[in-house]
Structure 1
Amino acid sequence: MTTITSTSQRLRAADQVQDQAPSGPARLGEFGCLIGGREIHTGEINEVRSPFDRSLVALVHRARPREIERAIADADAAFRVTRALPSWKRAEILEAVSAGIAARREDLAQTIALEAGKPIKTARIEVDRAAFTFKIAAEETKRIVGEIVALDWLPGLEGREAYVRRVPLGPVAGITPFNFPLNLVSHKVAPALASGDPIIVRPATQTPVSALKLGRILVEAGWPREAVAVVPSSTNDATPLVEDERIKLLSFTGSPAVGWDLKRRAGRKRITLELGGNAAVIVHHDADVAYAAERIVWGGFAYSGQTCISVQRIYAHETVYDALVKEVLERVRRLKTGDPL
């Protein structure tokens, strides 16, 4: 087997423009952090800029330590409300969120394209997936069931049974990356709602607007206002989301180095990590080389390779190596970059 080394750097549209951004108003406007169903304007502004041309996309107010504390305190208090919501009500809210996302499909897709630089066609697919994620969660909330365990495996326990119930855990903190600014947020929010847990989202500083718009949809759908917060913030200011004991579960998607450090600092709380991939392609001697090349180029260069499952290693049988290199190079040369809209 022969390893094909990288034939081209990842295509990054932002590399093709000057560092200085064009002047002009923010295309999407100004956004506050979302706490208690209200937008909080802190006065500490983060400029969200397009990776394509560095134009100003949005002005976003950063949450300071006091806002982070308020979000945690609200979530802790709101848990008494969310844990008591019956499954039919949670499902109803999740269905409403799904419908709200679908109704705003083009607006959300445009937002993703602007702040993340994702091609608009792919951005629309991400919106559809987010809506479907909440729909799946609505169905699954009806299937959070326990079990009955017979205890007669010990003498004296004949005729006795143990009942196991699944119950809400408590406030959840979700830390999300830039590459799927709506769907990966949805992957953290939807399960939390389905299980009756408050959720605090700390989105990537490069792409917070999609998460803030989703937060609005959650409130409009009827989820308790204090049980959802979206807090764009600096890494240091977000520390309580990792270390505060009132947070019962931390969900993180991002790099392995950061993820394992968060696990070390999270203490006794539960933690879920979705870290970087190491995706490989194996091309056998009897493979369709043209088809393999097509899939390799798509998998390696789609969205400039900024996905956790992008092709990162290629192993080709020596008998097809030269042909595969030729086919891959031909397709790479035909790739186009440009305005994601």
Structure 2
Amino acid sequence: MGARDKLVIPKKFIKKYGEKFPLWSYSKINTLDNCKHEYYLSRVKKLKSEDNIYTVSGTCAHDIIQDYYENKIKYNQMADLFETKFFDIEISDFRFSSDEQKNTSMRNKYKSCVKDFFLTHKPIETKVLTEKLIWVDVDGHVFMGYVDAIIKDQDGNYNIIDWKTSTIYKGAKIKLHGKQLLLYALGLHQMGVPLDKIKVAWNFLKYVNVTYKQKNGKYKTTSSERHKWVAAIKTPLKKDIKSVYNMEDWEADIKLEELISANSLDGLDEEIQNKYKLDDCYVYAEVSEELVNELKRDLVAGIEEINERGDEEDKWNREPIQPKDEFYCNVLCGVKRHCKFYKAYQEKNKKYQSEEDKLLEEIDNILSL
């Protein structure tokens, strides 16, 4: 995101709020919700936030998709381009995990799934607006943000799409993480688009939707990580194998394991292959006036809390870091090097590990007597 002086602020906001007024973003409020002290370090003290493996790899995928829809690259260049760019990430210091074996496994899975997306992505056929800057007035507070993609479908609906390389959202997480997309929906609504004509969704790049027809005639869709999508349909697939090939149960199990291992239905009869349809994994969040009003209350409450805390460090303290916070603090927080709470947690862990090693050594000595 560029500096404020490079932004072309809509005249309606300047007319309403003057030349100088605070600019807000959803990420600011989200940082506050994630960790108060992180907000202080990154937003109040304005310490530079460091990238992590997820921001770097996510940006890599986003840029390729954007370049494709802006006609800068061709469809068949995406997968190779991703592999080339991801190689730079593989040889960098960025890690999915501090454990080398786990890091290798996670990295290979990530690479395989995202590359498969670029090989099989079904292009959006209507015009795609990429990285569209959206301005939103939230009860007197001006928010701005960039939308990955906006498309108008054949039914006249405006679809706000966020390309996502994270783990898929399900259940309550859809509403929780949908707040950012809901904010952008409000921005479109304030531009004159009826709220009931706006849809918001994520396209989870690492996942694929598998749709098949059940015996009752209804269709079922299952979302699965791309590197193991065949395993996700093993129950109906086994029934199809037994039926089409007249196999015994044990024979079908052997065939099924082969297909799961290859993660492909290649070689099966077309009658079976055609039964399973693969699509990009779009997950939609609800858009309603009630949810928009709830979002506005939450955002305003966040702004009020930020203003009340001011710029004194002791007003931005947090509870000591617990094991449940470790992934966020260790991997996702960009200012952990400056965080006194993170340093305290590391020192506590070092002391605990030292005591544990000492105890294990004493036990080993006793057993060796």
TM-score per shorter chain, which class? under 0.3
Greater C-alpha Rg = 2
TM-score normalised per structure 2: 0.24
Higher helix fraction (1 or 2) = 2
TM-score normalised per structure 1: 0.26
